[in-house]
Amino acid sequence: MNNTTTPSCSLDDIDELSGVAGDFLAHIRQRLFAPDAQKRGPKYTLGQLSQFIDKDKALVSKRAAMVGSDLPAGEQAGNQRLFTVEDVRTWSRHYKRCHVRSPQERGAVIAVANFKGGVSKTTTTAHLAQGLSLKGYRVLLIDLDAQGSLTNLMGISPEFEVNLEDTIVPLTSGERDSLLPSIRTTYWSGVDIVPGSVVLNNADFYLPARQARDPGFAFWDVLRRALHSDGILEQYDYVIIDTPPAISYTTINAFLAADCLLVPMPPEGQDFASAVQFWTLFSQLARGIDQHLKTEDRKTYAWVRVVPTKVDRTRAHSAIVLDWMKSVYRHYLSSTEIPVTSAVSVSGIQLGTIYDIARYTGSSRTYLRARQAYDRLVDEVDQLTRLHFWSKN
């Protein structure tokens, strides 16, 4: 018989636990991002650069070594050249890996959503942003999750570096009409962010309060209006919104602001069943708001994709659920599967993504399997957007 007793836990104890956990996280960040606890972008080899821009390595090597070349030559480190994220972006733009928008085209807004937690929503968002930036695009992330996990992945501590005015909260309270003051640069070249933290909980009080005071106030349209003002959608090629795993006023704003919808979903029975509720609630909410809109303003998404995440093909039930997903989602199902790999787990422990790993200490096959899966997702999203969004603008 176990005689060990669990001590009682007062609110003071919880307050102390909060402080201990915060201090421990700060210590981890200091060790991971030494010497100054600031996250820095990776440096890639010539071979990795050639893979990112889809060009022969010998050709890239010759071009990088050319005297007076207008492309970054990288820095010599021992017997190899290393290239920064900005270097890769410059090469990508040179070889037209990204769509060059015409003056009539604006940036595309993607909401990454699922009402269930633990589906790799934030991880997918971060990889998508970094992958698109490596193709040469300018990306703005908007973190609407009070946990601030995306903000953390992008090198900003929600606990210590994010204040209320840094988030969308001033926008929801009516203090500001613009998102510009909340946009911050990140350690990753080409990716900026409107950070998230626990203060985002305030947004779901401000929006209904404003609606109650003013029946003519459209609480669902606050984020969309902000994105369409101040030239934000002219400045950024992609705006990617990470939503909380629940129905909320901010989630509704994300849905109505988005041009495209990406839904990460592991091939698990519970996740498949939970998604039924997601689509039902989503449909009810959208219909309820849609009836208040003019015919020309009613919502139509350029594209919607359900992307299988955390896929383990060695598990028999995963294949079964994937077949269910194919039967239900048909042309809405992504052609890309994101596998479960140790490489993704390692990057998570390092508070990063697979693109943060310049040198993987494990199996190169494991690393490439994970990175190529995210590369395919990035390419798929970009191709869908070029075809169904930019070609119609």
pLDDT in tens, 242-288: 999 888 899 999 999 999 999 999 999 998 888 888 888 888 877 77
* Bridge partners of residue 261, in order along the sequence: 111, 304
For 25-46, write each residue's pLDDT tens digit: 565 555 555 555 568 889 999 9
Give the burial class of 276: count Cβ atoms within 10 A of its Cβ; 0-12 exposed, 13-18 middle, 19 or more buried: exposed
Q: Minimum mean pLDDT among 214-223, 239-248, 287-296, 359-368: which range?
A: 287-296
d(CA 109, CA 245): 19
What's residue 78's pLDDT? Answer: 84
Q: Is the peptide bond before 267 cis (omega within 30 degrees of 0)?
A: no
More confident residue, 174 or 362: 174
Overall average pLDDT of the 378-384 stretch: 97
- Inter-residue contact 233 to 239 (CB < 8 Å): yes
Domain boundaries, the chain: 44-94, 108-392
* Residue 179: band (very low, low, confident or very high) from pLDDT cuts 50, 70, 90: very high
d(CA 258, CA 283): 15
Residues 6+ apart with CB under 8 A from 24: none
Overall average pLDDT of the 78-96 stretch: 94
Does the structure show a pLDDT above 70 at 297?
Answer: no
What's residue 91's pLDDT? Answer: 96
What's residue 349's pLDDT? Answer: 47
Residues 6+ apart with CB under 8 A from 346: 357, 360, 362
Overall average pLDDT of the 41-59 stretch: 93
What's residue 5's pLDDT? Answer: 63
Does the structure show a pLDDT above 60 at 343?
Answer: no
* Residue 22: band (very low, low, confident or very high) from pLDDT cuts 50, 70, 90: low
What's residue 195's pLDDT? Answer: 97
Of 61-75, 133-147, 261-275, highest mean pLDDT:
133-147
Does the structure show a pLDDT above 50 at 1?
Answer: no
More confident residue, 110 or 28: 110
Neighbours of 231 (CB within 10 A): 10
Tokens of 384: 């869908």
The domain made up of 108-392 has a fold known as Rossmann fold (3.40.50)
Does the structure show a pLDDT above 70 at 208?
Answer: yes
* Bridge partners of residue 141, in order along the sequence: 193, 240
- The single residue listed with the structure tokens 């704003």 is 253
Share of the chain above pLDDT 70, in %: 85
What integer best gives the mean pLDDT of the chain? 87
> What is the SS3 string spanning the chain?
CCCCCCCCCCHHHHHHHHHHHHHHHHHHHHHHCCCCCCCCCCCEEHHHHHHHHCCCHHHHHHHHHCCCCCCCCCEEECCEEEECHHHHHHHHHHCCCCCCCCCCCCCEEEEECCCCCCCCHHHHHHHHHHHHHHCCCCEEEEECCCCCHHHHHCCCCHHHHCCHHHCCHHHHHCCCCCCHHHCEECCCCCEEEECCCHHHHHHHHHHHHHHHHCCCCCHHHHHHHHHCCCCHHHHCCEEEEECCCCCCHHHHHHHHHCCEEEEEECCCHHHHHHHHHHHHHHHHHHHHHHCCCCHHHCCCCCEEEEEECCECCCCHHHHHHHHHHHHHHHHHECCCCCECCHHHHHHHHCCCCHHHCCCCCCCHHHHHHHHHHHHHHHHHHHHHHHHHCHHHC
Q: What are the phi and psi torsion angles at 81 (to 5°)? A: -100, 140
Amino acid letter, 84: T
What's residue 347's pLDDT? Answer: 47
What's residue 116's pLDDT? Answer: 86
* Bridge partners of residue 311, in order along the sequence: 339
Does the structure show a pLDDT above 90 at 80?
Answer: no
